[in-house]
Copies of this chain bind each other. A is one copy, B any other.
Amino acid sequence: MKTLATLALVVATTNPAWAQFAKPEDAIKYRQSAMFVMQQNFSRVAAMASGKAPFDAKIAADSAAVAEFASRLPWAGFGEGTDKGRDNRARAEIWSDKAKFNDYADKIQAEMVKLSAAAKTGNLDAIKPAVRAVGGTCKTCHDAFQKD
Cα A56 to Cα B20 with chains together (Å):
13
Name the residue on B nearest A3 (C-beta).
B62
Q: What chain B residues lie within 8 Å of A3 (beta carbons)?
A: 43, 46-47, 50, 52-53, 58-59, 62-63, 65-66
User: Is the pair A54, B4 in contact by a Cβ cutoff of 8 Å?
Assistant: no
Interface residues of A, Cβ cutoff 8 Å to B:
1-7, 9-11, 20-21, 26, 29-30, 32-34, 36-37, 39-40, 42-48, 50, 52-54, 56, 58-59, 62-63, 65-66, 69, 73, 135
Q: What chain B residues lie within 8 Å of A73 (beta carbons)?
A: 37, 66
Cβ distance A16 to chain B, nearest Cβ, rounded Å: 16
